[in-house]
Amino acid sequence: MLTTIIILLITTSCSYADFKLESGWDHSQHGLDWGGSCSKGKYQSPINLLTKWDALPEKHPLKLRNYCNLASNKAVLYNTGHTVTVDMAASGNGSYPRMSGALLNRTFNATELHFHWGSKNVKGSEHTIDGKRFDLELHIVHRALAVDDIAVMSVLFNIRQNATTKPVLKPIFDALTKVIEYHEKAEVNETFGLCKLFKVLDKTDYFTYEGSLTTPNCRQGVSWIVFRNLIDVALEDASKLRDLQDSNGEPIASNFRMIMPLNSRPVYHFKRGVALKRVEKENEESLK
């Protein structure tokens, strides 16, 4: 049973707060030089996802609730020195966006989102599909506070010169100029509801598996949900991510971890109400 979930849209007080707890690391080697669970853990993330699987019946559809009701005056951008995060406060009625269903064994509250990107307009995602690394990846981190479990949604993006960034993400990109330096914080000025993002995603087409956080301490027991279809984002907006600076005043770039071995873990691909499963043999491929 999956105990935690990450959806590739793919951290929280337990993940990116880990940025504050874990020091002395960077993405210069894409995680090859990280110790502890990062090097010893058997079920690590990210992984390469394949689109051909054996069919199995689906049990529970993915359920997303309250994603339209974010309290924009409490959503805060923060430059961690490794990425930019958006801490999501509860809505005016005190309810967090929440996720359940699929293979999750409980309901998870969305608490934070962050991005992974490349040094150029290509090859910035953490997860790959059929060996292809994409331009940008968004992680929406969820937590089940009572048991301290973590679930993450992941969304993949293509960066396009003439694309129009989805309005739901525009307030975040517009605020990036306020958090250029390490430790800078800024409020998101406009209202944004993530439900609008899900309207352009095929919520019936996603991968899910059990893995880990993709940054130190690389805690395991994290359930990932990675949406298969991609969203376009404007080059003008995506380039603002590369203006962000780390603790040394250098640009934050290529902040993705290398692909980790699957080690015979089951990976489920849900598509249009049919669950597809395949257990991959060891995959030592590292894509950079």
pLDDT per residue as tens digits for the range 194-210: 888 888 888 888 999 99
Confidence at 31, pLDDT banded by 50, 70, 90: very high
Mean pLDDT lowest among 32-46, 91-105, 274-288:
274-288
Distances (CA, A) of 121 to 48, 118, 160, 236: 20, 6, 8, 11
Is the per-residue pLDDT at 63 higher than 50? yes
Is the per-residue pLDDT at 1 higher than 80? no
Is the per-residue pLDDT at 94 higher than 80? no
Three-state secondary-structure class, residue 178: helix
Confidence at 157, pLDDT banded by 50, 70, 90: very high
Domain ranges in the chain are 7-279
Nearest to 150 by CA among 228, 45, 263, 283: 45
Mean pLDDT lowest among 41-55, 101-115, 271-285:
271-285
Cα 245 to Cα 196: distance, rounded to the nearest angstrom: 30
Is the per-residue pLDDT at 13 higher than 60? no
What does the pLDDT read at residue 284? 39
Nearest to 254 by CA among 168, 128, 136: 136
Enter the pTM of the model.
0.88
Residue that wins the pLDDT comparison between 98 and 89: 98
Confidence at 95, pLDDT banded by 50, 70, 90: confident
Residue that wins the pLDDT comparison between 56 and 32: 32
- pLDDT tens for each residue of 243-255: 999 999 999 999 9
Query: For the chain, what is the mean pLDDT?
Result: 85
φ, ψ dihedrals at 72, nearest 5°: -60, -30
Rg of the chain over Cα atoms, rounded to whole angstroms, equals 17
What's the average model confidence in pLDDT over 62-70?
82
Cα 164 to Cα 236: distance, rounded to the nearest angstrom: 9
Q: In sequence order, what E strands does 96-182 have?
A: 98-100, 108-117, 128-129, 132-133, 136-144, 149-160
CATH code for the domain defined by 7-279 = 3.10.200.10
Is the per-residue pLDDT at 147 higher than 80? yes
Confidence at 218, pLDDT banded by 50, 70, 90: very high
Tokens standing for residue 132: 């292809």
